[in-house]
Amino acid sequence: MAGLDPDRSSRVSLREITKENLRDYLRLKVAPSQEGFVASNAVSIAQAHFHPEAWFRGIAAGGTAVGFAMLEDWHQCPESAPGDWSREPYVGLWRFMIDQRWQSMGFGAQALRLLIDHARAVPGTQAMLLSFVEGEGSPEAFYRRLGFERTGEVSEGEHVMRLAF
């Protein structure tokens, strides 16, 4: 994506990833100390193409690729949704990353608010769920600032958080 480097005042948007901008999003990386917390964008995009519940977007700030997000939205394919989905219809934050160069500029919070708004707009959705790997540098405090709370559940070694709608 061409353009000037974004600054703290840059507007964040969620963009469809296309053949024209794919490389911009594949180049994004978290800091080496964060690599154990999130899969690469290449892995995420590949997985999305084999999971009908996946909804993914690039995160742009001022027209520059700065991050990636992928949601788990079973409303797209309710016939194959897990059992807990029918008990409480949710949208899950499956992947979320901001490139190491663009962290601590407010882009992550802006993007997550857009994702929360997207999830809230899905008919019947009662909550947004996410999970995180515990450890030094984990994103738990970031998610708490945006209203998520631990559920006490651990799924595949990751702690689950919930934001009620």
pLDDT value at residue 78: 77
Looking at the domain assignment, is residue 56 inside a domain?
yes
Range of lowest pLDDT (69-73, 78-82, 93-97): 78-82
Domain harbouring 68, CATH code: 3.40.630.30
Which pLDDT tens digit goes with each residue over 19-66?
A: 999 999 999 999 998 888 899 999 999 999 999 999 999 999 999 999
- Whole domain around residue 88: which residue ranges? 12-164
User: Structure pTM?
Assistant: 0.91
Looking at the domain assignment, is residue 34 inside a domain?
yes
CA distance 142 to 148: 9
Looking at the domain assignment, is residue 36 inside a domain?
yes
Number of domain units in the chain: 1
CA-to-CA separations, 156 to 79, 121, 132, in angstroms, rounded: 23, 28, 10
Q: Tell me the Cα Rg of the chain.
A: 15
pLDDT value at residue 93: 97
83: pLDDT strictly greater than 90: no
Looking at the domain assignment, is residue 68 inside a domain?
yes
Return the exposure string of 41-55: e unless at least 16 CB atoms fall within 10 Å of the residue's CB, then b.
beebbeebeeeebbb
